[in-house]
Amino acid sequence: MQYLVSVIDDKSNPGSTDRRPAISAFNERLIAEGYWVFAGGLADTDAATVIDNRGEQAVFSDGPFVESKEYLAGVWVWEAPDLDVALKLAAEASKVCDRKIEVRPFQ
């Protein structure tokens, strides 16, 4: 099963910025153990654009779809045999990147 693993940062209390080497080592382990599918960090929410084309004309709005002190800072996609394995990895990921993690299975 594949899982979307979201890295959640907090504008008022951000995680450590010196985590890149630890995250790289964790990613190498994910690759070696076959869990890695994809990962990427995201630009700041100021760089976001929301598009709503449900009406007669597309509406483009600068900024995130919702203003919040917490925001999506990056994502992983993992392949794991079950939720327990994904949650165990997510607990490690939270420690490694010093941020909250949300795990959601793909349907």
Q: φ and ψ at 104, to 5 degrees?
A: -140, 130
Number of domains observed in the structure of the chain? 1
The reported pTM is 0.88
pLDDT higher than threshold 90 for residue 15: no
The tens digit of pLDDT for each residue in 24-62 reads 999 999 999 999 999 999 988 889 999 999 999 999 999
Mean pLDDT, residues 85-102: 97
Q: Say which residue, 64 or 89, is predicted with more confidence.
A: 89
- CATH number for the domain that contains residue 59: 3.30.70.1060
Could you tell me how many residues make up the chain? Answer: 107
**Tokens (6 digits) for 62:** 């600068």
> The domain containing residue 66 runs over which residues?
2-105
